[in-house]
Amino acid sequence: MYQVFSRKYRPKVFSEVVGQDHVVRTLKNAIRLQRVAHAYLFSGPRGTGKTTLARILAKSLNCTDGPNADFDPNDPICLDIDAGRSFDCIEIDGASNNGVEQVRDLREAAKTLPVQSRYKIYIIDEVHMLTQAAFNALLKILEEPPQHVKFIFATTEPHKIPTTVISRCQRFHFKRIPRKLIADHLQKICSYEHIDADRKALEIIADISEGALRDAEVALDQLISFYGERIDLASVQEMFGIVGLEPLCGILRDIASGQSLEALKKVHMLLESGKDPILLAREFRNLLHHVALFKASITTLKGQLDAEELELIREASNHLSLSLVIDLLEAMDSWENKLRYALHKEVLFEIAILELSQLKEKVELEELLARLSRSEGNLSEEKIFPLPSAKKEDKPIEETSFEAISSLPKEKASESAKSQADNTSLISVADKKEDPREPLPSSDSFAQKWAFVVESFSTSNPAFKEIAKHLHFYELGAEELRINHSMEPTEFVKRIAPFYPSLNLEVKKVFDKKLVFLPLHIKATTALTKSESSSKNKNKGYANNTHEEKKQTDNFSIDESSLKNDPLIKEALELFKGKILRIEKRNKEEGP
């Protein structure tokens, strides 16, 4: 009579148990040292050997020459236990015998002596299904059972068992069986059954089983029934709708680079070919898990994946940071739970991929707003943003995506301020600490190029036109193109952030510089820059230089047309419905 693999190759002795060495070793030592407890609780995922090991323990205690950890599996008593016809080893299904009446009957029957064995052993499977009243009725005999009674409980949900019951048992947790051990076990079955199976195909079956050996044996049995005596990778993928690592890595690369349409196109093709969205979500979650482990430590995966798979994981991880992988993994886990109960699973999975492709920009924007919030907590009256750092270890703008708002610009001499005001409509003159970077002189061509970039970018992004009204060319530095903005800082960050990556690319093409935004800050005083002051000192004596500086400051004339066209002044006039009556120059002696 034919038997399925999960029954035919079920372990009969301790040495045949796969992947639970910690439990096997403890039980064998307890038998050898005659320290067998009166109650055991075996908990863990399905298909990991809980009931099987309970039977093996019962056979080792009740065998003819027992208790003996190295018993003969062909002993008559052991054969009776395997067949379920032993009077002294009673297996009870906790799901169907969960009432208090059944437990009372068990208590009465447990008082009688065993028929032919040393112990009367009760194996209660899925014990968490007992009612609260049944557990209460079991407590007394569980704590002080007769000397000839042993209890072995098995459950997949130990958290549902009262702590009063757990505290009276020795508990063993059965872990998921590693991929390699499952594949090795399947390889032995194939050799016994004369099946030609590829190792890669068996590893895929082990992945599908998710650490449950019984599930892997059932899957192998099903494959042999369909494909016969030859099992290869294509057979497994066709039977169970497995995608494979390479297509999923391609989708992950698209998500990492923000190419949501490409990722969606690939996912749509997979779904159109008949792939199960739940399996796709599970495989993609496993891929993210592998990438996270690879980023943390490559040695963690060396025993689980082969060289080809490790290379694919390495290539995919190069485009991702560990923090982003963790965020993607958490989001995918949430979507996987939603997919189980969704009516239109294909549509929901496509939405999940679109959200994951936008997650990188979302995380960067949240980090930026948090950084800006911290900066605003340390504001002073004269400094709106912290000064930039010229150290090499600082992150470049490309890495931080929008780490552009840094500090107030340098003070400019009055001649330079007036010249730039004529050329670019508005130039900000503000107080700032010394910047070690020497800016390159700005000119009409630089301002015209910036105007061209803004016009071109606004054509392809109409929503940017409203923001462009508040942007004004300031100067072209040695490494940066510096642009003034006349908006409230937090509001400006929120509005410019979606456009910044693509706008920065356009600036790089035209100027070959980084794009930096500076807040507009104007005072009614001017001062010479350090470089201008030093150059004058070289040509003139100190006394003459001081006199010239004072004369220049005293004779400073206000450019009325430039001042009237100042966007901030215009905005203030519109806000208060006012107009300019006269412009006065205030002397230093008069005070603020």
pLDDT higher than threshold 60 for residue 592: no
- How high is the pLDDT of residue 121? 94
Least confident residue range of 6-20, 126-140, 368-382, 396-410? 396-410
Reported as a single tens digit per residue, the pLDDT across 89-100 is 999 998 888 889
Q: What are phi and psi of 150, to 5 degrees?
A: -130, 140
Instruction: Please give the average per-residue pLDDT across 80-107, as a whole number.
Output: 90
Q: Residue 159 contacts by C-beta under 8 Å, 6 or more apart in sequence?
A: none
Residue 526 three-state SS: coil
Cut 0.85: pTM above it: no
The separation between the first and the last C-alpha atoms of the chain, rounded to the nearest angstrom, is 104
- How high is the pLDDT of residue 338? 85
pLDDT higher than threshold 80 for residue 157: yes
Reported as a single tens digit per residue, the pLDDT across 222-266 is 999 888 888 888 888 888 888 878 888 888 888 888 788 888 888
247 preceded by a cis bond (ω within 30 of 0): no
More confident residue, 363 or 402: 363
- How high is the pLDDT of residue 218? 93
* Degrees, nearest 5: CA angle 97-160-25: 90
pLDDT higher than threshold 70 for residue 495: yes
- How high is the pLDDT of residue 544? 45
Q: How many alpha carbons fall within 13 Å on the CB side of residue 412?
A: 22
Distance CA 250, CA 222 (A): 31
More confident residue, 587 or 164: 164
- How high is the pLDDT of residue 387? 36
Give yes or no for a contact between 478 and 439, defined as CB atoms under 8 angstroms apart.
yes
- How high is the pLDDT of residue 477? 78
What is the assigned CATH class of domain 179-240? mainly alpha
DSSP 383-437: -SSPPP---TTSPPHHHHSS-----PPPP--HHHHHHHHHHHS-------PPPSS
Instruction: Please give the average per-residue pLDDT across 558-569, as a whole number.
Output: 63
How much is the mean pLDDT over the chain? 77
Q: pLDDT-derived band of residue 377, with 50, 70 and 90 as boundaries?
A: low
pLDDT higher than threshold 60 for residue 518: yes
- Closest among 493, 456, 487, 489 to 472, alpha carbons compared: 487
Q: Using a pLDDT cut of 70, give the percent of the chain over it.
A: 73
Please state which architecture CATH assigns to domain 399-519.
2-Layer Sandwich (3.30)
pLDDT higher than threshold 70 for residue 191: yes
Reported as a single tens digit per residue, the pLDDT across 393-445 is 444 433 333 444 333 343 433 344 344 434 433 333 333 333 434 444 445 67
More confident residue, 141 or 587: 141
pLDDT higher than threshold 80 for residue 217: yes
CA distances from 171 to 39, 58, 165 (A): 9, 16, 11
Q: Is CATH 1.20.272.10 correct for 245-362?
A: yes
Distance CA 224, CA 221 (A): 5
- How high is the pLDDT of residue 368? 56
Q: Which fold has domain 5-173?
A: Rossmann fold (3.40.50)
Distance CA 470, CA 355 (A): 31
According to CATH, where is 1.10.8.60 located in the chain? 179-240
Tokens of 290: 């592998």
According to CATH, where is 1.20.272.10 located in the chain? 245-362
Q: pLDDT-derived band of residue 376, with 50, 70 and 90 as boundaries?
A: low
Give yes or no for a contact between 430 and 416, defined as CB atoms under 8 angstroms apart.
no
The H-or-E segment that residue 120 falls in is strand 120-125
Instruction: Please give the average per-residue pLDDT across 182-206, as a whole number.
Output: 91
Distance CA 437, CA 138 (A): 80
Instruction: Please give the average per-residue pLDDT across 1-27, as a whole number.
Output: 91
Residue 535's identity, in one-letter code, is S
β partners of residue 481: 476, 515
- How high is the pLDDT of residue 524? 33
For 567-574, the CB contacts below 8 A with 24+ separation are 567/426, 567/470, 567/472, 567/486, 568/486, 568/520, 568/522, 571/486
Q: pLDDT-derived band of residue 576, with 50, 70 and 90 as boundaries?
A: low
Matching residue, tokens 């001042």: 563
The secondary structure of residue 485, as a DSSP letter, is E
- How high is the pLDDT of residue 292? 86
Tokens of 482: 């510096």
pLDDT higher than threshold 90 for residue 58: yes
* Rama region for 512: left / alpha / beta (φ>0; ψ in -120 to 50; rest): left
- How high is the pLDDT of residue 536? 42
More confident residue, 381 or 359: 359
Distance CA 355, CA 206 (A): 30
Q: What are phi and psi of 475, to 5 degrees?
A: -165, 160
- How high is the pLDDT of residue 583? 66
pLDDT higher than threshold 50 for residue 560: yes
According to CATH, where is 3.40.50.300 located in the chain? 5-173
The secondary structure of residue 131, as a DSSP letter, is -
Q: pLDDT-derived band of residue 38, with 50, 70 and 90 as boundaries?
A: very high
The secondary structure of residue 440, as a DSSP letter, is B
Q: What are phi and psi of 153, to 5 degrees?
A: -105, 145
Burial class (CB in 10 A: 0-12, 13-18, 19+), 159: exposed
Exposed e or buried b per residue across 449-458, where buried means at least 16 C-beta atoms within 10 angstroms of its C-beta: bbeebbeebb
- How high is the pLDDT of residue 547? 46
* H helix runs in 33-153, sequence order: 50-62, 76-83, 100-110, 132-143
Give yes or no for a contact between 396 and 389, defined as CB atoms under 8 angstroms apart.
no
- How high is the pLDDT of residue 97? 84
Distance CA 317, CA 325 (A): 9
